[in-house]
Amino acid sequence: MNGDSGTTTIAQIFSGRRTGTARRLIRLVPMRPTILALLIVSAAIAQEPANLGARAERYLIDLIRLDTSNPPGNETRVAEYLKRVAAANGISAELLGAPARLNFVARIPAAVHSAELRPLLLIAHSDVVPVDRSQWSVPPFSAELRGGFIYGRGAQDDKSLLAAELAVMVELKRRGVKLTRDVILLSESDEEAGSTGINWLVRNAYSKIDAAFALNEGGAALDLHSGTRIFQIQTTEKVPTRVVLTAKGTAGHASLPRPDNPVVHLARAIAALASAAQPVQLNTTTRRYFSDLAKLPDYAWLAPLLSNLDQESTAVAAANKIEAVDPELNSMLRTSVTPTMLSAGIKVNVIPNQATAQVDVRRLPAETRQEIETRFRNIINDPAVTISPTPGQEMPATEPSSLTSPLFLAMEKIFRAEHPNALVVPYMSRGATDGSYLRQKGMAVYGVPIFLREGGESRAHGNDERISAGNLGRGTELLWKIVNAAAGIGD
């Protein structure tokens, strides 16, 4: 109805069709940002687009506007939003976990239950890393659309995947698709810090998320200069293994240098550890990854080095040559060691009795913490320096997910059909996800590469994080095809 009828709905306020009353309400009623965001998303749920890509875009905008910076997280905001969307579309769902940090689990059951065809799990996390607002050109929780890009914290990590998965679930329900296996959607809390969400679920409600295989974050698609598009399906990941180096000595006046100065001992230890060549190991994922990559013209330089990686006497030298050209590839060959934080002394003219350094270690999945700590002690070779683990949850080391599962084979087929020059490869990420906790339970977990790394860059955890609406839409369509193939949809 045209004109000002004197009544205004929330949907009218936020759809841009503001009546005179709406304009007066906005002027007169101040709203807290969180309340305003909830009003916006509540109105949006009632106006869901019919198109799959447009629906994912609507969900992503809503999700970005719900600030779930971790700490403190407040992921219950997202969980409750997802519950409302699920309820509006007749999807069975529940909220599980700690009240302020709830996880969301939804399930669409198979048309006919089969013990052999266990569920497909779709995973994404609802928390995001904090932002430095002064470094952003747009408000980080505004979901501003600029130049075809949606800007906001979580646009890449990981609310885009959550939006795509939610859109696919709604599409399955709206079409009344007959599934041959259950499809489960899990939005987990606290992935960016303590992994308390997934650990709570594994301990207390694993039957609600138990599945044959899962799609998660961690994959990536990127274009090479030769025109090849690489679809990297993450099948395993390096294990964060933080350690603390502590050097101890005798405190005293700095005017009298001492041989047991802990700062000096710590400096030597850091230099020795950072410069030491870590051993090289290949697993089923990285062996195939390097083999397939070396066949491309962009990586012709890699081919002569491959055979040397399998020989203990030549592996380190070959890895060093690879590192000089491509540090990213080198990180997939061996454990990495990066000192990041130092602490020592209280005054410039006082020798402290202790100095510490925190070191970020990303170990290969086949190595144990004990193995690397023993190796580090041998490298440092200084009784004044001790090595200890940092407090907190440690992610498990697991074997790579299968390269022959129905889900992996379905992704290979779909991605090859997506691009005329597609290369589909298994991939080990240097970053960690909560997928390792599910792999530990025997579930095959895959980081799904549905989104293209636009411009060859990743802004995850960075400033002005963004994804283009086109990339989001195409990725959601790819996810739809994968879920259809893996869930064995019938007529």
Report residue 113: phi and psi, to 5°.
-70, 135
The answer regarding whether domain 47-235+404-486 maps to CATH 3.30.70.2190 reads no
CB 54 within 8 A of CB 470: no
What pLDDT, on the 0 to 100 scale, is given for residue 393?
75
Distance of CA 392 to the CA centre of its chain: 19
CA–chain centroid gap for 149, Å, is 20
Q: What pLDDT score was predicted for residue 9?
A: 36
Chain region(s) in the chain for CATH 3.30.70.360: 242-277+339-393
CA atoms of 204 and 459, how far apart (whole Å): 35
- Looking at the domain that runs over 242-277+339-393, which CATH code has it been given? 3.30.70.360
**Omega within 30 of 0 (cis) for the link into 71:** yes
pLDDT score of 456: 85
Structure tokens at 44: 């949006």
| CATH 3.40.630.10 domain residues, the chain | 47-235+404-486
**Mean pLDDT of successive 10-residue segments in the chain (491 residues)?**
37 39 40 54 60 97 98 98 98 96 98 94 98 98 98 98 98 95 98 96 98 97 96 97 97 97 98 97 97 97 97 97 97 97 97 98 94 97 97 88 97 97 97 96 98 93 97 98 86 45
Tell me the whole-structure pTM to 2 decimals.
0.88
Kindly report whether the peptide bond that precedes residue 158 is cis, defined as omega within 30 degrees of 0. yes
Query: What pLDDT score does 278 carry?
Result: 96
Q: What pLDDT does residue 12 have?
A: 39
